[in-house]
Amino acid sequence: MLHSSSMPIPQSQTTHFLKDIMRQPGELKRTLDHFSGAGQGALDAAVTAVRAARRVYLSGIGSSWHAGLNVAALFQVGGRPVYLVDAAELVQFAAIPAGAVLIVISRSGRSVEIVQLLAKARESGAMVIGITNAADGALAREAQIAIVVPVALDHAISVNTYTTLALAAGILADSVTGEGTAFPQGLKPNTGSSSMSDLKVRPPNNARLADSPVGKVVSSEGSTGTSASPTGSVTNLLSRAFAAAENAITGWQAQIETSEWLAPRSTTYFLARGSSLGSAYEARLMWEEGVKAPATAMGAASFRHGPQEIVQKDMRFGIWIDGARMREQDLALARDLRKLGARVMLIGQRLPSDAGDLVFQLPEIASEWQFLIDIIPVQLVAERLARLSGSDPDTFRLCSFVVEDEAGLLPGEKPTR
């Protein structure tokens, strides 16, 4: 599906982008509930497979890659490192060892790189855990374990598909580590059998199910392993954070309407750490897709190793402040940027109201899971800035909704292999 260019959306008109943003807290809550019910079986099998694997890859492309950036931090902090590799790079420039487990994130499951990665995994004898929003996509059909997150697809820019897939992958990561990084009780597995009603398990190429990690989970009676579904307390705590974020949207919009941080045709840098790093990269993509303006994203620490030479008066910076780590250092960074004449937007919990030119206070949520809601105020900024810039965030001039070929940008003759 190729979106054509259109006239700019009038300032008074509600965009599809905004409508997608507004329904996001509800979709996150429904996704959370899904893994305490129908989605539990697939989650259990995925946890067993990842725990048994010697090598685990985490991959995606576009917004799904950004979700992987968020979730990789949960694996790392739990002491279960994964290989985080862009899907295109994994297809073209890596050898996948036999017996590896690939966690592949893709909203449609039909992007050309994902289809190629599925073929490469089959040839390598690797297992694929697919996390997707589309039950009819190649990823859901061909993955040995398919975790399908039911959500209405976004109109154009990935909003709900981005955060719900990040939530699903995050629950998997936290369940695998068993560290309870989210809350005191964590997302630790519960004992007992689980429903396998929506589980789809296939052995990797040239492998028997009984020899695979998942073979120990599936039987005619259902799962013989432990359940990784979120505990009631975790569900309640995350649900409260989603509800609080929904209630905060009106206040965030009021801040945006009067803020001078929003400036069409400005130079914009996004900086973050840890699990919010994916939020920074996702913001950069929204500027490119929706505002139709250049932007860049990187780690806050990396910015201080040379890129700070770019700082000039009236540049725009968006900085995510972690809930627990490096807070004072990043607040000092924001202060210095403002002293140098830049305008700073801050997103985080318990922030001084005067620490930036535009400060978004987030509801209380564990720092490792902050990425689930810290993208929402920036989505609102992107939507508003797009309209201020005379851009239409609801259409793509060049990009198709699903990228199904690898060559060029414009229609025409494709190279032969």
Task: With residue 284 as reference, give the H or E element that holds it.
Answer: helix 277-286
Q: What's the number of CA atoms in the CB half-sphere (13 Å) around residue 212?
A: 28
What one-character-per-residue DSSP string does 388-413 give?
HTT--TT--SS-BSS----S-SSSSP
Q: With beta carbons less than 8 A apart as the criterion, state whether 24 and 159 touch.
A: yes
Residues of the chain with pLDDT under 70: 1-12, 179-227, 229-233, 399-405, 407, 409, 411-417
pLDDT in tens, 93-107: 999 999 999 999 999
pLDDT tens by residue, 43-71: 999 999 999 999 999 999 999 999 999 99
Q: How far apart are the first and last CA of the chain?
A: 25
Query: Do 116 and 94 touch, CB atoms closer than 8 A?
Result: no
Q: What single string gives the DSSP state of each residue in 119-182?
A: HHHHHHT-EEEEEES-TTSHHHHH-SEEEE---PPPSSS-SHHHHHHHHHHHHHHHHHH-S--S
For residue 416, what pLDDT is reported?
55
Name the amino acid, one letter, at 52.
Answer: A
Contacts of 200 (CB under 8 A, 6+ apart): 42, 140, 143, 145, 146
- Looking at residue 410, what is its pLDDT? 73
Q: How far apart are CA 160 and CA 166, in angstroms?
A: 10
For the chain, what percent of residues have pLDDT higher than 90? Answer: 77
Separation between Cα atoms, residue 48 and residue 127, nearest integer Å: 12
Dihedral sign for Cα 145, 151, 152, 157, please: negative
Question: How does strand 145-148 pair with strand 218-219?
Answer: unpaired
How far apart CA 84 and CA 68 sit, in angstroms, is 7
**pLDDT tens digits, one per residue of 387-397:** 999 999 999 88
* pTM for this prediction: 0.86
CB distance 265 to 389 below 8 Å: yes
d(CA 211, CA 144): 13
φ/ψ of 205, rounded to 5, equals -55, 135
Q: Write down the H helix ranges in 287-342.
A: 300-303, 327-339
Task: Compute the radius of gyration of the chain from its Cα atoms.
Answer: 21
d(C-alpha 106, C-alpha 136), whole Å: 12
Residue with tokens 């579904």: 229
CA angle 49, 53, 59 (to 5 degrees): 80
> Cα separations (Å) of 253 from 126, 269, 410?
46, 21, 37
What is the reported pLDDT for 188?
Answer: 39
pLDDT at 221: 29
Residue 414 DSSP code = P
